[in-house]
């Protein structure tokens, strides 16, 4: 995230904060997080383990993104977006299979969407920023000639 414009750093920082905070809570107390997300504990006895695995993944991802440099950030954001889309699809398929009721399914989807929105906006802005810089470089080459 180093070397980015303030608005991109703000979006990426928001995504990292969301990921890291939810994950730290999920790792420290997965049953409490399950209650907050309206996930039934009795019918999902393996879920605390799954939440801890998810939490470690997201903690590591948030730390890597937060300390990445400009050249690697775009790739990391793309990976985060893919991960969040698969999380949303997994939650949806679990709801369709009857593992979760509609409110539980939506609470799972919304945790992924909360991180997806700022990272998607940041990726779009970084991509647009690169395009603007390339246009400026090309215009400067034309003006020199």
pLDDT for res 133: 60
Span of 31-40, 60-69, 83-92, 126-135 with lowest mean pLDDT: 126-135
Give the model confidence (pLDDT) of 72-115 as tens digits: 899 999 999 999 999 999 999 999 998 888 988 998 899 899 98
Answer whether residue 140 shows pLDDT above 80.
no
Distance CA 71, CA 42 (A): 46
Distance CA 99, CA 96 (A): 8
pLDDT for res 145: 60
92 close to 109: Cβ distance less than 8 angstroms: yes
pLDDT for res 40: 78
């Amino acid at each position: 995230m180093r070397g980015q414009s303030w608005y991109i750093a703000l979006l990426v920082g928001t995504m990292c904060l969301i990921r890291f905070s939810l994950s730290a809570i999920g790792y420290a107390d997965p049953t409490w997080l399950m209650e907050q997300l309206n996930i039934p504990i009795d019918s999902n006895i393996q879920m605390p383990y799954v939440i801890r695995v998810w939490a470690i993944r997201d903690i590591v991802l948030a730390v890597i993104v937060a300390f990445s440099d400009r050249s690697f950030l775009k790739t990391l954001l793309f990976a985060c977006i893919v991960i969040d889309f698969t999380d949303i699809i997994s939650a949806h398929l679990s709801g369709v299979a009857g593992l979760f009721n509609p409110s539980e399914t939506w609470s799972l989807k919304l945790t992924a969407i909360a991180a997806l929105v700022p990272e998607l906006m940041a990726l779009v802005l970084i991509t647009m920023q690169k395009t603007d810089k390339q246009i400026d470089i090309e215009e400067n080459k034309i003006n020199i000639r």
